[in-house]
Amino acid sequence: MAISVFDLFKIGIGPSSSHTVGPMRAAALFATALRERGLLEQVTRVEVRLYGSLSATGVGHGTDRATLVGLMGEWPDRVDPKQIAPRIEALQASRELLLGGSHPVAFDWQRDLLLLEENLPYHPNAMTLIVEGEAGELHRDTYYSIGGGFVVDEAQARSGQLDQDTTELPYDFSSAEELLELCQRHNLRIAELMLANEKAWRSEAEIRAGLLKLWDAMQECVTNGLGHEGILPGGLNVRRRAAKLHRSLQELGKPNVIGSTMSAMEWVNLYALAVNEENAAGGRMVT
């Protein structure tokens, strides 16, 4: 199976790739499908059904909000995390959803967003999106958020062919041993071999630009995690600790990192903590 680095690393929003990123992608795909089918302007009602795990922990993980923002036409790698809360507040106040970012539809949070205990057959992270028009139902689809931001629809799940990418790589491998053998045979470094494989999908310029975009998103996540304090959302009253720890490490008088006991690992732990807290707060993440 061919997997790109841009499949392995996706820019999204926290706190969860399967409960936040995946549902937002699914909802955005659904809104796009409505536009492509010429149905968007006919919609008078939208219903969101969250099943299984998405229902049980969806509110805490922001699945409900992520899905609705996706229906507004936003994608997890492009949306500004700071705009999600005010847009949801505006939706609840106006009781109107801007479907696909352009078509206003009346939306009642209690009536039109259902958290159901039922489990669908293919995966516990399931959601069904339904739209109706003046004459009744226009379209529906069920999506499964299978982890890492990957999403499959009902047709894919039924077929059992979850990977539909048939790209042939110049240096295909399925184990580290095969990778090293290919490098030795073709006199390539691992980075050179992987770049050659990535070129099966996109140009080198696009690859390098995409990698820099991933790096910038990672840096943004760390910076925001170090710059915010207070209580994390979710109702558990967990206090952010990264900013305080950062100040403490900066006050150590710039010791020799190699010689000072555990100081190097303390900085590693700090950055991991900053990333985890920013993800939990619904900020930018790379999954």
Q: Is 26 helix (H, G, I), strand (E, B) or coil?
A: helix
Alpha-carbon span 27 to 145, nearest angstrom: 11
- What's the pLDDT at 1? 57
The number of domains in the chain is: 3
% the chain with pLDDT above 90: 74
Residue 128 domain-assigned (yes or no)? yes
- What's the pLDDT at 265? 84
Residue 11 domain-assigned (yes or no)? no
Q: Is the pLDDT of residue 260 over 90?
A: no
Read off the tokens for 250.
Answer: 């900066």
CA atoms within 13 A on the CB side of 200: 18
Q: Which H or E run contains 73?
A: none
Q: pLDDT band for 234, please (50, 70, 90 cuts).
A: confident
Query: Last residue of some domain: 97, 132, 159?
Result: 159
For residue 91, the domain's CATH number is 3.30.1330.90
Q: Is the pLDDT of residue 5 over 90?
A: yes
Structural domain including 152 reads 17-159
Residue 8 domain-assigned (yes or no)? no
The pTM score is: 0.86
**pLDDT tens digits along 156-203:** 888 877 666 778 999 999 999 999 999 999 999 999 999 999 999 999
pLDDT mean across residues, the chain = 91
**What separation, in Å, do the N-terminal and C-terminal C-alpha atoms of the chain show?**
20
The average pLDDT across 36-55 equals 97
Q: pLDDT band for 83, please (50, 70, 90 cuts).
A: very high
Please indicate, yes or no, whether residues 54 and 100 belong to a single structural domain of this protein: yes
Please indicate, yes or no, whether residues 38 and 150 belong to a single structural domain of this protein: yes
Please indicate, yes or no, whether residues 227 and 250 belong to a single structural domain of this protein: yes
Please indicate, yes or no, whether residues 106 and 134 belong to a single structural domain of this protein: yes
Out of 50-54, 58-62, 211-215, 220-224, pick the least confident: 58-62
Inter-residue contact 283 to 14 (CB < 8 Å): yes
In order, the DSSP letters of 217-264 are HHHHHHHHHHH--SBPSSSS-PBP-HHHHHHHHHTS----TTTSTTHH
Please indicate, yes or no, whether residues 196 and 214 belong to a single structural domain of this protein: no
- What's the pLDDT at 164? 65
Inter-residue contact 123 to 146 (CB < 8 Å): yes
Please indicate, yes or no, whether residues 101 and 122 belong to a single structural domain of this protein: yes
Please indicate, yes or no, whether residues 38 and 146 belong to a single structural domain of this protein: yes
Residue 266 domain-assigned (yes or no)? yes
Please indicate, yes or no, whether residues 90 and 79 belong to a single structural domain of this protein: yes
Please indicate, yes or no, whether residues 21 and 155 belong to a single structural domain of this protein: yes
Q: Which residue has the tokens 């959601």?
A: 127
Q: Is the pLDDT of residue 86 over 90?
A: yes
Residue 43 domain-assigned (yes or no)? yes
Distance from chain centroid for Cα 68? 14
Residue 287: how many CB atoms within 10 A of its CB?
A: 21
Residue 9 domain-assigned (yes or no)? no
**pLDDT tens digits along 204-215:** 999 999 999 999
Please indicate, yes or no, whether residues 105 and 30 belong to a single structural domain of this protein: yes
Residue 3 domain-assigned (yes or no)? no
- What's the pLDDT at 241? 93
Please indicate, yes or no, whether residues 173 and 278 belong to a single structural domain of this protein: no
Please indicate, yes or no, whether residues 23 and 126 belong to a single structural domain of this protein: yes
**pLDDT tens digits along 95-143:** 999 999 999 999 999 999 999 999 998 899 999 999 999 999 999 999 9
For residue 243, which amino acid is it? A
Inter-residue contact 168 to 200 (CB < 8 Å): yes
Residue 10 domain-assigned (yes or no)? no
